[in-house]
Amino acid sequence: MKAPVVLHIGPLGLCGVDEAGRGPLAGPVMAAAVMLDPARPIAGLRDSKKLSAARRQVLAQEIRQYALAWHVASADVHEIDTLNILQATFLAMRRA
């Protein structure tokens, strides 16, 4: 399991960021950023590839409900072609 990238540690805590979609030959690269409330942990958060689709859906709802902040962003195919996949991934992460 790879560790998510931590972009910012501020007065509210950690902002974790991760990407998806770097492997496919076509389509956007997606990134999500989330700040969880340390006073309200969400049980069961772990490597999403090891969770069932149903459990991921439940956890996604809990994250949206209880996170201090969250956002999902992307870099499109044109940006990937122009920048390269790594820089497009970083762009999506900054947007998130």
Q: What pLDDT is recorded for position 1?
A: 44
CATH number where 82 lies: 3.30.420.10
Can you give the pTM of this predicted structure? 0.79
* Angle of CA points 70, 76, 81, to nearest 5°: 135
| Average pLDDT, 10 consecutive residues per value, the chain (96 residues) | 58 82 83 90 86 94 94 96 94 96
pLDDT for residue 9: 63
Give me the pLDDT at residue 4, please.
57
- List alpha helices for 13-73, DSSP H: 53-66
Predicted confidence at residue 8, as pLDDT, reads 60
Q: Which domain covers residue 48, as residue numbers?
A: 5-95
20 SS3 class: strand
Domain count, the chain: 1
